[in-house]
Amino acid sequence: LTSKVKTLGYWAQIDSFTKNYDDWSRINDGSLPTQAFADIVRLVSEQLQGKGRVEMKLVNLLELEIIVTENGRSKRATHAEELRQISSHGLSYLILCVFFIALVNMIRKDKAVQIIWPMDELKELHQMNIEVLVDILSKNHITLFSAFPDPDPEILKLFKNRYQVVGFRELLEMAVDSDYLAAIAPLTETTAHV
């Protein structure tokens, strides 16, 4: 993730304005600023185009580059379509999650803040990718929250807290133990071939 602020056409003028202002304010002898400072103020004001401010969307100030090494080959992506092309759905999903984890950690810094992260469509991922994701999130103090219409016992085992909604919004805590696994084994075996 890199900033594109310095590539903006007016960044050099703003940088020069800041330097000239700092130099002038350090002198603090009551003198007027130099002609160079006045010139840079004029240039910056022209850049502001009479609006009094510069408006720019944050997304236009950042550039994301992802490099994935898969099977010994490095692949590069800078936008969503390239990311879809360089890897499987599961790997792309994990890459985006790692990116969001990095942003969360950057914002959170070293504060001991536990985050709850809701995630939809988790079962679209292969179980191995779900296991990797849950592990990465827990190592980064992020609790995953997800819902499944037809929970897989192997996936349920990855979660510390498991609840089932019954009736009209009644929550029952689920225990995924050997009795539960034995009870649903016939159900999972009959659908395994589908």
The model's pLDDT over 94-144, given as tens digits with 9 standing for 90+, comes to 878 888 898 899 888 888 889 999 988 787 888 888 888 999 999 999 999
Lowest-pLDDT range of 114-118, 153-157, 168-172, 187-191: 187-191
Q: What residues contact residue 108 under an 8 Å CB cut-off, 6+ apart?
A: 115
Query: Are 47 and 15 in contact, with CB atoms under 8 Å apart?
Result: no
Residue-level pLDDT at 29: 84
Domain residue ranges in the chain? 2-59
Tell me the C-alpha distance between 77 and 85, whole Å.
9
What size, in residues, is the chain? 194
Mean pLDDT of 171-192: 64
Residue-level pLDDT at 174: 74
Structure confidence at residue 8 as a pLDDT band (50, 70, 90): confident
Q: Is the pLDDT of residue 185 over 70?
A: no
If DSSP states are collapsed to H, E and C, what string results for 16-78?
Answer: HHHHHHHHHHHHCCCCCCCHHHHHHHHHHHHHCCCCCCCCCCHHHHEECCEEEEECCEEEEEC
Higher pLDDT, 77 or 146: 146
Mean pLDDT of the chain: 79
Residue-level pLDDT at 138: 92
Task: List 166's β-bridge partners, or say none.
Answer: 170
pLDDT tens-place string over residues 28-65: 888 888 888 888 888 877 776 655 566 667 667 777 77
SS3 176: coil
Tokens of 51: 């609006």
Query: Are 184 and 153 in contact, with CB atoms under 8 Å apart?
Result: yes
Which bin fits 50, alpha (ψ -120 to 50), beta or left (φ > 0)?
left
Residue-level pLDDT at 139: 93
